Structure formats: structure tokens, C-alpha cells
Structure 1
């Protein structure tokens, strides 16, 4: 298909040349995955050859920043996969930065983002302070938050998961197996997702008219070291007070659950024969651990993909009228849970 010199190139122009609908072209431009590889490639070639620019678009260098607290966790890897696939499909490069959990003070990631004139940012950080938000806004850099710490000001798109419902499902699974003494290894108190999971645990226990004794909800970090330390503290407390051990643990992350595995084995306790364990996230290793881990699947890749697609719309000047989006979690039952021992 040819066009007159100087003629404006539109989505309709691209669609006609590619032999597809304008909706299909829009899906490719927004990084949607529901387009065949051959069609996507054909459209992207036409877009590049015709130097198409979207109306109201603000793309400068075709670069988007993905900022995470840390880059080396199993959780982070799933987020990276989801964002990278979506951005790559849209022809946008992704730069990774680590915030190292420091929301306050000088932010190296923010200075680097400014220096390379990034088009936007997907932020998966434990805290985003007022100074950082103001700087991003003043630079005209759109951003989307994934699993923010707490309440977010109006107008900032956020992508999360149904943490409360996932925790309820995990706890109800244990109660359904016959467990009555269940402890919770919670995440950091300041994180909204941690509080939602702890609240979901308590809600399910209350609905079943089961007590949660003092000390049976222990706040820590989303890592295996914390899971091991809090499990040790839980067992030490039971030994010191003479109270019976819990027959089940609900951990707020898979890594905490793996730490609990280690602590329990060191005490000669078997999972699930002596104590059942449930995690949260469903990182890939959960299906290969020994025993395989019953957990709540958090759609990490889908969360990151949606955040990336939302960011691309913001970059291209589209109106995004989204409240906080929460994607559904799902309980995955494996070998780390069973009915309690008859003497438990």
C-alpha cells in the first residue's frame, strides 16, 4: 500500500496496510499479548517504516524504568518477566533499578531515571515518598505502582492482588483439614499487603470461632531468614509457656514458608506430618520443594504486565481512569498440608 507524500499516518493507515482491524493495531501498540506473533511483527515493521507517532504521545527514547526493592529474589524475577515481555512486545526497552528498600533520602534510581530521560516507570518499591512523587510529576514522567505500601493519592494507578481473600482461602483450607491451632508468619507491619494477609487470617479464624493466642501472629520480613527466625521464636514461646504447638503455619510469603521448613526440620518436626505449612506467592520453586508447597498463587507476571500496559497508555497521552486494580489469587494445594496428627 502506498500513500501520498506528507500524508498523516494514522492507526487506520497502519491497519489497512497490515490487513487487520484498528483494534488489532491498538493492541500491538499497547503491548497486549492476544495478537499472533506474525501479525505483531508485521504491524511493528509497518509502524517503524512509516515513522508512526501516536497523537498526544510523549515517548522520547523508548525506555521505561522498572524499579524494585531488590533484583535477586524469586518474587522480583516473576515481576521482571511480566513487565519485560509486555514492554518488548511494544518495542520499548526496559531498564532495571534497585531501590534497596530505601524510600527516603537521596534516590539513586530516581537520579538515573532523570539522567536517561526515561519515558515512564513501573515502581515496585516498599515506599514512595512525597519528594519522589513530586520529582516524577515535575519531570512529566508517568508512573504506575505495583503493591504499594499504603494508601495512595488519587490519580495514581496501582496494581495489586486480592491479598485478604487469598489469606482467607489459605486459612480456611487449614481449618477444613481439621486444624484448630494455626499460627501466622506475617510480613512487615508497614506493608499494606502484609496487613491484608494478617487481617484475612484473623477473619477466617474468627469466622470459625477459633482463638488466635497472643504471639501466634508474628511479623517479620518476606525472606527465608525471617521465616526461620520467627518459627524458632514461635516454638520457643510454646516451650517456655507449656502451650501446645500449633498444628499448622500460614506464612505470608513462600520464602518465609521455606524458612519455616528449615526451622521445623532442625527441631525434628516433619512437614506436614507434625505441622502443615502454607505459603503465599507461588514462586516457581514452590512446586519443586520437599515437600512441595501448598500456597496462594499471586499472579505476579500478570500484575507486572498490566502495570506495563497501563504505563504505556499514560506515556501515549491516554486517559487512564483506574481505581486500585486487584487481580485474583488462587489457592494451590500441594504436599505441605494434611490433616493434623490424631495426638495433635
Structure 2
């Protein structure tokens, strides 16, 4: 009787993925687990040479920005674990303006580039990434085999919906002069600024919106600089793109003997433990990290024509959820 991987997994009390890793010599497996699998191979008379076809594993480059946000790292980690569990090999190059590490991964044999960013890649393999919900991009390339260098939009991030929720929260608290701290560079920063100007509740009555945007480095010191600048521009509340910048905002207020949220209400992008334990805990626009990583993994399966969940013809749309904590409060009269 033919012995299957499922039979080995049941006999060893492990998953099929673990059996595959042991037989293929890929990934980390505990010594005791490896012994149970090899013992099951001997007891059941499994023959690798006749029953297990050796196929080359796909190498996937999962790329985070050179200075990633916590939510981007969380998405990269989750999609890497998911693809590895399906037998794929993962490289983790960071993005740079020159794409040096990405190109090195492609030269090493990476068949797909995956990234939780809006960045366009000039590479000779398919790219699976995100796009902004209101930005017109084709979700799927033309039918048939993926074109060399084609780009697949696996999911859309609804920055407009996220900003609207932040604006509604802050205006309900009486804030009208709401500023934005964004990164100096990057497609996400550019689109965030564009949506900020288009959706700001004071866009029809104020000519000062450009003064209420502070473009600074994605850093702690950048947050300090931006907070002081926007306070000088009379902002009573701010929305902050980067976690490092947000921590800088809190520090700037302490340096001036001011208090968050009494003197300045603050809303951040992306949730993490550091956001919950700031002083006070930060109000944030939180992303569905697991949902977004699942969408990227589905994109990889679609590109490589692998079994499992595939991309749909209309990419899923992820809208940030407002987590109201203690860094926002009513505006002072």
C-alpha cells in the first residue's frame, strides 16, 4: 500500500508541513520531532525515492522598507511564515532607493517580489504589493502567465476612509486646526498628504492647510521638530504617519512642559504594544495585519499558479480602524 505524507504526519503526531520539512531538509525542526518523523518513515516503510518527487522550492523576496513601520514588519513576518509553511524559501531584503538588496535576491533566483508598500519596482520578476484604495491601478495583470516585471495589486489600503475616521473623531472633540506629520519621502507619504488635503474638514474655509503639514524624517527627532512646528501653526490636534515620529511628538510636549492630550491631541497610524503603553496610550488607526498578509500570500499563489487561496478579480479593501485611547481629548476653548 502506498504510504502518503499524511500517513507519516498522523503516525508521528505532527503536521504534513513538518514532515515535508524533515524529508526535504528545509527549515528548523526540533531534534525530537525529527526523530519521530524518521521513526514513522521506518515503521511505515515510506520510500522517498519512489513516492516523493523532488521539486525545486520557489524563492520569494519579502521586502520591507529600509525604515519600516511596526505594522509593515508584522505583515512581512506573517506572510513569510505562511509561505514558508507551504514549502517556499524566503529572502528578506530591505528596500532602498537603488533596490540593491532586492536586485541581489532576484539575481539569486527570487521568482516573486512581495512588499506591504505602495512602491513601484523596476525589476524583471512579478511584484505583489499594495495600492491606495482611491488610486486607479489594475488589480490583476492580463490573463495567462504573469508577464516579466508585472505588478499585482494584492490589496488596497483605504487611506481616505482612515483619515475620515480620524477627522470625525477629532472634530467631534471640537478640533478644527488638525495637522499632519508625514515622512519626507515615499509613495505612502505622498498619497497620505494628498488625501489629507482632499478630506480635511477645514478644506473649504482655510487656506492654511499646507502650513498644517510637516514633512520630516521618519525619526524621533523628526517628530519633535514637527510637533513644535505644528504647535506654532496653531494646530490643536495632529495625525502622525510614523511610530517614531509619534514618540517624538510626546517628547516635544514634555520638553515644553505641555501635556498630551490637554495641549495637543495625537492620532497615530498602525497599532503595536508601544502605542498602547505610551504616556498616555496613543489613539491610532489600526490595520488588519493578518488580513493584509493573507492577501499578499494569495497574490504569490496566483502568480506562481500554486494551490490554495488565490487573488480575486477585485482586490480586497482594508480600511484602518480607529482605536480611541487617551491621547485625544476635547479641544480647549
TM range (shorter): 0.7 to 0.9
User: Is 1:167 aligned to residue 163 of structure 2?
Assistant: yes
In the other structure, the counterpart of 2:208 is 213
Alignment of 1:30-69 (within 5 A): 41-42=15-16, 45=19, 50-51=51-52, 60-69=56-65
TM-superposed deviation, 1:301: 4.0
Aligned CA distance change for structure 1 residues 257 and 147 (closer, same or farther; 3 Å): farther
Looking at structure 1, the residues matched to 313 and 216 of structure 2 have their Cα atoms a distance apart, in angstroms, of 32
User: Is 1:108 aligned to residue 100 of structure 2?
Assistant: yes
Aligned CA distance change for structure 1 residues 51 and 222 (closer, same or farther; 3 Å): farther
In the other structure, the counterpart of 1:246 is 235
TM-superposed deviation, 1:297: 0.3
In the other structure, the counterpart of 2:251 is 262
Aligned CA distance change for structure 1 residues 76 and 295 (closer, same or farther; 3 Å): same
Looking at structure 1, the residues matched to 186 and 100 of structure 2 have their Cα atoms a distance apart, in angstroms, of 23
Q: For CA contacts below 8 A with separation 6 or more, give which structure has more relative contact order.
A: 1
CA contact (8 A) 1:63 1:93 kept: yes
TM-superposed deviation, 1:331: 0.3
Question: Which among 52, 64, 89 is matched to residue 93 of structure 1?
Answer: 89
Alignment of 1:114-193 (within 5 A): 114-124=106-116, 127-129=119-121, 132-133=122-123, 135-136=124-125, 142-147=126-131, 152=137, 155=141, 156-158=151-153, 159-188=155-184, 191-192=187-188
Give the root-mean-square deviation of aligned CA atoms.
Answer: 3.5
Range with bigger deviation, 89-98 or 226-235: 226-235
Looking at structure 2, the residues matched to 61 and 120 of structure 1 have their Cα atoms a distance apart, in angstroms, of 12
Which stretches in structure 2 are left out of the alignment for 5+ residues?
24-47, 142-150
CA contact (8 A) 2:69 2:243 kept: no
Q: Which string of whole-angstrom CA distances, capped at 9 and with x for unpartnered residues, describes residues 47-82 of structure 1?
A: 9764368xxxxx733321112222665344212222
TM-superposed deviation, 1:195: 2.2
Which stretches in structure 1 are left out of the alignment for 5+ residues?
4-12, 20-37, 54-58, 137-141, 239-244
TM-superposed deviation, 1:268: 1.8
In the other structure, the counterpart of 1:28 is none
Aligned CA distance change for structure 1 residues 181 and 125 (closer, same or farther; 3 Å): closer
TM-score by length of 1: 0.70
Aligned CA distance change for structure 1 residues 90 and 197 (closer, same or farther; 3 Å): farther
User: Is 1:327 aligned to residue 311 of structure 2?
Assistant: no
CA contact (8 A) 1:273 1:341 kept: yes
Aligned CA distance change for structure 1 residues 43 and 250 (closer, same or farther; 3 Å): closer
The runs of 4+ residues in structure 1 deviating greater than 4 Å are 46-50, 147-154, 317-321
TM-superposed deviation, 1:122: 0.6
Q: Which string of whole-angstrom CA distances, capped at 9 and with x for unpartnered residues, describes residues 163-200 of structure 1?
A: 11001101110101121222222344652564246525
2:162 alignment partner, SS class? helix
TM-superposed deviation, 1:222: 4.0
1:272 alignment partner, SS class? coil
TM-score by length of 2: 0.72
CA contact (8 A) 2:166 2:285 kept: yes
Looking at structure 2, the residues matched to 82 and 212 of structure 1 have their Cα atoms a distance apart, in angstroms, of 43
Aligned CA distance change for structure 1 residues 165 and 222 (closer, same or farther; 3 Å): farther
TM-superposed deviation, 1:113: 1.8
Range with bigger deviation, 254-263 or 165-174: 254-263
Looking at structure 2, the residues matched to 196 and 261 of structure 1 have their Cα atoms a distance apart, in angstroms, of 22
Looking at structure 1, the residues matched to 227 and 251 of structure 2 have their Cα atoms a distance apart, in angstroms, of 9
TM-superposed deviation, 1:274: 1.1
Q: How many residues align?
A: 289
Q: Which string of whole-angstrom CA distances, capped at 9 and with x for unpartnered residues, describes residues 202-229 of structure 1?
A: 425148x663624012333444333222
Looking at structure 2, the residues matched to 221 and 73 of structure 1 have their Cα atoms a distance apart, in angstroms, of 13
TM-superposed deviation, 1:320: 4.7
CA contact (8 A) 1:180 1:210 kept: no
CA contact (8 A) 1:14 1:43 kept: no
CA contact (8 A) 2:295 2:316 kept: no
CA contact (8 A) 2:262 2:329 kept: yes
User: Is 1:307 aligned to residue 264 of structure 2?
Assistant: no
